[in-house]
């Protein structure tokens, strides 16, 4: 995708966060890597239904605003650190998905008990150590969990997911939230049975082999 297409996809996915129930109000944020290396981010405190392309903000990887009239999301450091630390990540989404947040505030990982979770997420989704919202330390703490995973729970806060592009990161976020809901419900019925070890060994490498960033157009 070119820069304009990535900007539009970022806006579309930001709006989809609220229509799909991943966030409420103006919470949550999305970012995507642009072809020139800069990053487009959603703005701070703008309602998603009325958000337009003109509201989006473009920053350098170091955080300097180069385009846009609104302040970027207060979680700018979280997004930029993940993108700087992992060159294969093309997009980042932070949401307050309900069931994921239940796991996050109890500091419980979401277990990889469904095959598609292993393929598209890479294994269990762990929980960061607690770091203050909006801090550089939170960005550093979250980034260290994403070398071989598509998501991590932010302690006492919510979900962080990464992907090839905005549409991919939305898919990952929805899959993690759906799995969290399934696991939560399954615990009412009884103990959650893990996938066999040989199944995990078979499927986990697929996520690593597929990578997270689409190859450049030729």
State the CB neighbour count (10 A cutoff) for residue 66: 11
Tell me how far apart the alpha carbons of residues 117 and 206 are, in angstroms, rounded to a whole number: 11
Q: What is the CATH number of domain 3-210?
A: 3.40.225.10
- The answer to whether the beta carbons of residues 55 and 41 sit under 8 Å apart is no
- The reported pLDDT for the residue numbered 180 is 98
Q: Can you name the residues that pair with 57 across neighbouring β-strands?
A: 41
Per-residue pLDDT 10s for the chain (218 aa) are 999 999 999 999 999 999 999 999 999 999 999 999 999 999 999 999 999 999 999 999 999 999 999 999 999 999 999 999 999 999 999 999 999 999 999 999 999 999 999 999 999 999 999 999 999 999 999 999 999 999 999 999 999 999 999 999 999 999 999 999 999 999 999 999 999 999 888 887 888 787 666 544 43
**Domain-by-domain residue ranges, the chain?**
3-210
Rounded CA gap, 200 and 202, in Å? 5
């Amino acid at each position: 995708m070119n820069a304009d297409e990535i900007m539009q996809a970022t806006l579309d996915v930001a709006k989809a966060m609220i229509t799909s129930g991943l966030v409420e109000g103006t919470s949550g944020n999305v970012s995507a890597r642009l072809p020139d290396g800069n990053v487009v981010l959603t703005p701070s405190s703008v309602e998603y239904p009325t958000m337009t392309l003109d509201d989006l903000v473009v920053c350098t990887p170091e955080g300097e605003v180069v385009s846009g009239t609104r302040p970027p999301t207060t979680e700018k450091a979280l997004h930029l650190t993940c993108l700087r630390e992992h060159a294969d990540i093309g997009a980042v989404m932070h949401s307050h998905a309900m069931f994921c947040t239940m796991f996050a505030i109890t500091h419980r990982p979401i277990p990889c008990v469904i095959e598609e979770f292993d393929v598209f997420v890479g294994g269990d989704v762990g929980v960061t150590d607690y770091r203050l919202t909006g801090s550089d330390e939170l960005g550093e703490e979250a980034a260290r969990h994403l070398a071989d995973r598509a998501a991590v729970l932010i302690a006492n806060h919510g979900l962080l997911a990464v992907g090839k592009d905005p549409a991919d990161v939305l898919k990952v976020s929805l899959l993690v939230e759906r799995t969290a809901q399934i696991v939560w419900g399954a615990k009412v019925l009884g103990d959650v049975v893990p996938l066999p070890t040989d199944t995990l060994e078979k499927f986990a490498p697929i996520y690593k082999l597929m990578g997270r960033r689409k190859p450049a157009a030729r």
